[in-house]
Amino acid sequence: MRIGMPHMGNLYIPFKSLFQRLDIDFVIPPLTSQRTLSLGVRHSPEGTCLPFKLTLGNLIEAAELGADTLLMPAGSGICRLGYYAKTQQHVLHELGYNAEIVCVGFSQRKLAGLLETIKNLSNNAPWSKIIPAFRFGLAKLNALDRIERVVQKLRPVEETKGTANRLLTKAVKAIDQANDYNTLKRVQIDYINQLNQVTKDEETSPLVVGIIGEFYVLLEPFSNLDVEKELGRLGVEVRRTTFVSEWTKFSLFLNPFGVNEKDRIHKAALPYLKRDIGGDGWESVGEKVLHAKEYDGLVHLAPFTCMPEIVAQNIMPKTKENIPVLTILCDEQLGKSGMLTRLEAFTDLLKHRRRVKNKA
Closer residue to ligand SF4 (CB): 163 or 251 = 251
- On whether the CB atoms of residues 24 and 75 are closer than 8 A, the answer is no
Closer residue to ligand SF4 (CB): 232 or 279 = 279
Interface region with ligand SF4, contact rule CB under 6 A, candidates 1-9, 75-83, 123-131, 189-197: 75-83
Restricted to residues 95-114, the positions that interact with ligand SF4 (CB under 6 A) are: none
Q: Which of 5, 81, 99, 175 binds ligand SF4 (CB under 6 A)?
A: 81
Give the per-residue contact string, 289-328, with ligand SF4 (x = CB under 6 A; - = no): --------------x--xxx--------------------
Q: Which of 44, 116, 109, 114 lies closest to 76, judged by CA?
A: 109
Q: Which of 7, 21, 80, 155 binds ligand SF4 (CB under 6 A)?
A: 80
What are the DSSP calls for 64-78, one per residue? HTT--EEEEEE--SS
Restricted to residues 257-286, the positions that interact with ligand SF4 (CB under 6 A) are: 278-279
Q: 67-83 as b/e, with b when 16 or more CB fall inside 10 Å?
A: bbbbbbbbbeeebbbee
Residue 325: its H or E element: strand 325-330
Closer residue to ligand SF4 (CB): 307 or 349 = 307
Give the per-residue contact string, 27-56, with ligand SF4 (x = CB under 6 A; - = no): ----------------------x-x-----
Closer residue to ligand SF4 (CB): 148 or 214 = 214
Q: Which of 241, 303, 247 lies closest to 75, judged by CA?
A: 247
Restricted to residues 198-217, the positions that interact with ligand SF4 (CB under 6 A) are: 214, 216
Residue 218: its H or E element: helix 215-219
Provide the minimum distance between the beta carbon of 279 and ligand SF4 in the complex, in angstroms, as a whole number.
Answer: 2
Q: Does 79 bind ligand SF4 (CB under 6 A)?
A: yes
Closer residue to ligand SF4 (CB): 156 or 279 = 279
Please give the C-alpha separations between residue 354 and each of 5, 147, 188, 259, 360, in angstroms, as whole numbers.
Answer: 44, 29, 35, 37, 10
Which residues neighbour 187 within 8 Å (Cβ) at sequence distance 6 or greater?
A: 143, 171, 174, 175, 178
Please give the C-alpha separations between residue 55 and each of 15, 41, 92, 274, 352, in angstroms, as whole numbers.
Answer: 16, 10, 12, 31, 40
Binding residues for ligand SF4, how many (CB under 6 A)? 13
Residues that bind ligand SF4 (CB under 6 A): 49, 51, 79-81, 214, 216, 278-279, 303, 306-308
